[in-house]
Amino acid sequence: MSLLDHINDKTARLGVPFNVQLDLTYRCNENCVHCYLDHGGGGEMDTSEVTGVLHQLADAGTLFLCLSGGETLLRPDFLDIVRTARSLLFNVTLKMNGILLTERDAECLAGLAVSQVHISIYSHRPEVHDAITRVPGSFDSSLNAIRLLVRHGVRVRIANVLMRENIADYRGVQALAAQLGVEARIDPTVTPALDGDPSPMSLRIAIPDLQRVFRDPAVVKDVEKFCAPPPADAQPGGDYPCGAGINGCYISPSGDVMPCIAFPLVCGNLRRQRFGDIWRESELLGQIRGTRIRDLPKCRECVNVASCTRCPGLAYLSGDMLGLSLLDCEKAYARTGLLPLPLTGSG
């Protein structure tokens, strides 16, 4: 077990909100075909409110802080917020498309020693990337931002969400990342919108494509281990299904506290309660913390239960927090080749 795994395990047992994502805005200057957000700009916390939240998170024991959106650079106080977060000693990761990034911004982020900046690149072909963002020229602008950040010594990761439109391009994105001197993370997860609209799911890649990706050594370092079927005698254990609401959570631009960005169950609002009170006293969070893998009536019978990466948020969006996350059922099948119960028609 790595040191970080050990810390994650310990913070889960102690109930410390070790990882928090705070979205500063839902406004965006792109209009991506797969986006799960409502880009209306109403109700954002102002600078003083965000500053207060950051202090509350520090008091609660948060270490890893992700500042995201929407497009974070649309907030004129963005750098001030990052500056405050770093003064409180958070390990800060930023998510942005970088279209608005300036030389001054890159220089400032380097000086603040942010941990990493994630920028989405959907294809190495400008026409494919721009068709997904629905903003002409966005590919060139995002690449310029990456180059600026790299030039100033800021670590950058390319986020590459796989969809039907770009499934043929992930190796090209990896080659582009290598050329730029940055990391690339491939992610086949496309989720419903936060309001429950399932239409983005129509963009997800087919299972045969997912199988090819999971068996591609350019994506998976140890294919044999990653795709190995779980032991035949594997039993559902007492572990948490994931860290959402256990040692991490999500905060919306208007101050709603949820277990995760993919788990839009509002457990309280920071304009009415302090973060620590919500974290400790929310009945909904208590229900999540009381659930173990063995408590999931359908999943515990599944042949892939020991290796599945089931997302309780996707199950919640499907109507049952304790039910199936079919997207993860498909992922488990694509990895192991063993049919989960729901894919056989018997579950």
Cβ–Cβ < 8 Å for 322, 315: yes
Predicted pLDDT at 227? 93
Task: Indicate the pLDDT class of residue 40, thresholds 50, 70 and 90.
Answer: confident
Contact 24, 69 (CB under 8 A): yes
pLDDT at 72: 97
Task: Enter the pTM of the model.
Answer: 0.93
State mean pLDDT over 73-85: 98
Q: Can you give the pLDDT at residue 61?
A: 97
The mean pLDDT of 165-180, rounded to a whole number, is 97
More confident residue, 10 or 143: 143
Residue percentage of the chain with pLDDT more than 70: 95
Reported as a single tens digit per residue, the pLDDT across 129-145 is: 999 999 999 999 999 99
What are the beta bridge partners of residue 69? none
pLDDT category at 94 given cuts 50, 70, 90 is very high
d(CA 323, CA 302): 12
Helix pair 78-87, 103-111: axis angle to 10 deg: 10
Residue appearing with tokens 């990493």? 116
Share of the chain above pLDDT 90, in %: 70
User: CB of 113 within 8 A of CB of 83?
Assistant: no
- Over residues 257-286, the mean pLDDT reads 96
DSSP 205-232: PPHHHHHHHHT-TTT-S-HHHHTPPPPT
Count of CB atoms within 10 A of residue 289's CB? Answer: 15
For the cut 70, the answer to whether the pLDDT of residue 236 exceeds it is no
Name the residue with higher pLDDT: 326 or 280. Answer: 280
The arithmetic mean of pLDDT across residues 32-47, rounded, is: 88
Give me 35's structure tokens: 């986006």
pLDDT at position 142 is 98
Average pLDDT over residues 154-178: 97
Nearest 10 degrees: CA dihedral of 116, 120, 125, 128? 180
Q: What is the mean pLDDT of residues 3-24?
A: 90
Cα(323)–Cα(340) distance, integer angstroms: 13
Q: Is the pLDDT confidence value at 7 over 80?
A: yes
The one-character DSSP state at 340 is P
Q: Once rounded to an integer, what is the mean pLDDT over residues 281-288?
A: 95
Q: What pLDDT band is residue 304 in, cutting at 50, 70 and 90?
A: confident
Q: What is the spatial distance between Cα 120 and Cα 143, in angstroms, rounded to a whole number? A: 10
Q: Whole-angstrom Cα distance, residue 257 to residue 269?
A: 6
pLDDT in tens, 42-78: 799 999 999 999 999 999 999 999 999 999 999 999 9
Joined together, the tokens standing for residue 58 give: 């520090």
Q: Is 95 helix (H, G, I), strand (E, B) or coil?
A: strand
pLDDT of residue 1: 67
User: Which string of b and e fits 105-144 if b means at least 16 CB within 10 Å?
Assistant: bbbbbbeeebebbbbbbbbbbeebbbbbbebeebbebbbe
* Higher-pLDDT residue of 317, 249: 249
* CA 13/CA 75 separation, integer angstroms: 36
Name the more confident of 238 and 289. Answer: 289
Average pLDDT, the chain: 92
